[in-house]
Amino acid sequence: MRGPPPWTLMAAYTIRRVLWVIPVLWAVATITFFLMHAVPGGPFTQDKKVPPAVEAALERRYHLDQPLYKQYGLYLWDASHGDLGLSFQGDQDVTEIIRRTFFVTAQLGIMGLIVAVVLGMTLGTLSALNHNGPLDYIGVGFATIGASMPSFIVGSFLALFFAIDLGWFKLLGWGGPLQLSDVFTSSAYDWRKCVIPVIAISALPAAYIARVTRASVLEVLNQDYIRTARAKGLRETRVVTRHTIKNALIPVLTVMGPIAANLITGSFIIETMFSIPGLGRETINAIVRRDYATIMGTTLFFTLIVTMANLLVDLAYAAVDPRIRYR
Amino acid sequence: MTTQETLLGAPGAIVDPDMHFRQQRGLWSDAWRRLIKNRLAMLALLLLSVVIFVAFVGAYVGPLARYAPGDFTGIKQSGPTQHTWFGTDQLGRDLFARVLDGVRISIQIGLGAQVVIILIGFTIGAGAALGGKWSDNLLMRFTDIMYAFPDLLAIILVRSVLFGRHWPIISNPRVIVILAIGLVAWTTIARLVRGQMLSLAERDYVLAARSLGASRFRVVIQHMLPNTLGPVIVAITFGIPAAIFAEAALSFIGLTTPGSLGLLVSIGYNSIQVNVWNVVFPALAVATLMLSFTFLGDGLRDALDPRSR
């Protein structure tokens, strides 16, 4: 008996995975909504007492006077249309805030990701090819220490040595364009401000990738087809580039989901630490101000990114590795 | 004559004494032997024991207890001296005493969070594995959703819900952080326990226990639970540095637990150009704790799961 052709399985799998994003986002929006409404004290609870009339007016403005289920329904309805409401601070559109600040966070995250992948894969491959040699010890040492060093500590030490003592790089602020219209303005760029935040945010993912790469290259090197490749007289460089690295890439691909989540966590810390006007710092500020609308919006947005990253990884994984069954 | 022939030939020595010994060795003593042989894990264990002993016991007796965490020495922002080993902070408090206090808090939070994680993780994982198809689907989809939530953000949200309450135990900021981390970070354990239990339910010894008339409860508690412990212990050991990191990160970005190491790093970072030591020592303390627990976790994983080596 023959099963259905593989492409239909792949298509069904893709559709199922894409549709699964919807209940996840709904559940996260719901959990966040009720958590935020369970927080003691509202956004207008301040040291200075606001006159009751003003408070009532403010609550009406942000629909806080409505019953909870109506607020919830309204929120879901608006959110599903891409409208995340108004920030309690300065009446800005939350969607607009996210768009503006994520532009910076995305630069930080993408640069961090590139550094992490290049550094991690290089170190991991070198470690594996030099199994139990000195290079391997250096690589494993870096991977272990990097994986257990909080980014704010890496950031502090980098700032201390390279910015304060040596004066090579600058701290505070972001060295890339802050908005889309600045992309072609050369004065918006200052690479000396980017180096330390990018390295600090990529240290942990790099260590993680190095670890996975090393394990996976070692595994591939033990496979029969590598022995075959060597036996038929291929040069070692060709064995490594053509046969090893390509196959070792698959396990590395699978950790990209956790790494996306990790870069987001990193952005909270690194942006707060170096005063970078990105979405991470905006989220922390919103939490400190109890700005419900902004917190819910950014939480939803970050969840969307992590879910999308996981989705893309799973689909890429299924596409790359023919051994995967589409359950 | 070979050894085997001697043994077989000699009456009363039918069983090879060495073989017998090996059979006696169970999973745990076997794992323990492997762990002891792991030098890095033992070094980490030794380091942890010393740090924990000094932080919890040493800080109350002898020369280590020269100052309390809140005492003022009268000298601000000094480097390490004979009396204040780690120097003093911006208000003139002894940094050594404050770092020890921070280590105590980190350990409490690291371990406390694991207790919450075990309770929730086991309940959800076992509930999914043993409760039938519907509860399995429901609980695992819930776990998937919690897993999609960005960790630190979820911890921050739960923390802000628990903060500022006047409930009996939950008014303590450490308990709040422990609960916040525990309520978010249980997903790994839940998945692990479910997977283990599902595979164990198919094993012959579970079938044997059941056919001997053991109750369902007894089978789960006596036969299945102990066998899920290995991977869970490893995950818990890796969970401790993760919880320590989460708390330190929260304190660093301004959602503080009073006295925590993350707060000390953050305070030190603000005056890093005046006094480097205020960053160096608390940062080293966090790094030491996290590294030691990670090495210990690596050692435990290699010891408990020989296949992963």
Kindly determine whether residue B153 and residue A268, on different chains, have CB atoms separated by under 8 Å. Answer: yes
What is the rounded CA–CA span in Å between residue A266 and residue A260?
A: 10
Residue A309 near chain B (CB below 8 Å) = no
Q: Which positions in chain A touch B270 (Cβ < 8 Å)?
A: none
The per-residue pLDDT for A184 is: 66
pLDDT by residue (tens digit) across B234-246? 888 888 988 988 8
pLDDT in tens, A192-222: 777 888 888 888 889 888 888 888 888 877 7
* B148 and chain A in contact, CB less than 8 A: yes
Q: What is the pLDDT of residue B11?
A: 47
Q: Please name the member of A31, A152, A287 whose beta carbon is closest to the beta carbon of B265.
A: A152
For chain B, percent helix, then strand, then coil, each to nearest 5?
A: 75, 0, 25
- Using a CB-CB cut-off of 8 Å, the residues of chain A touching B253 are 268-269, 272-273, 284
Residues in chain A: 327
The pTM assigned to this predicted structure is 0.81
Per-residue model confidence as pLDDT tens digits over B250-298? 888 878 888 888 888 888 887 877 777 888 888 888 888 888 888 888 8
- A-B contacts at Cβ under 8 angstroms: 124
- How far is Cα B130 from Cα B197, in angstroms, rounded to an integer? 8
Q: Flag if A303 and B149 touch (Cβ within 8 Å).
A: yes
- In eight-state DSSP terms, residue B59 is G
Please name the residues between 254 and 283 in chain B that touch chain A, using a CB distance below 8 Å.
254-255, 262, 265-266, 268-269, 272-273, 276, 279, 283
Which of B38, B157, B281, B292 to mutate to test binding with chain A, by most A CBs within 10 Å of its CB? Answer: B157
In B217-246, the residues whose Cβ lies within 8 Å of chain A are 241, 245
**Chain B residues touching residue A303 (CB < 8 angstroms):** 148-150
Average the pLDDT over each of A290-294, A297-301, B166-170 and give the range with the smallest value: B166-170
What sections of chain A are H helices per DSSP? 6-38, 52-61, 68-80, 94-129, 134-147, 151-158, 191-221, 224-231, 236-238, 245-254, 256-273, 279-289, 292-320
Look at B252 and A273 and tell me if their CB atoms are within 8 Å: yes
Q: Which residues of B touch A222 (CB under 8 A)?
A: none
ipTM over 0.85: no
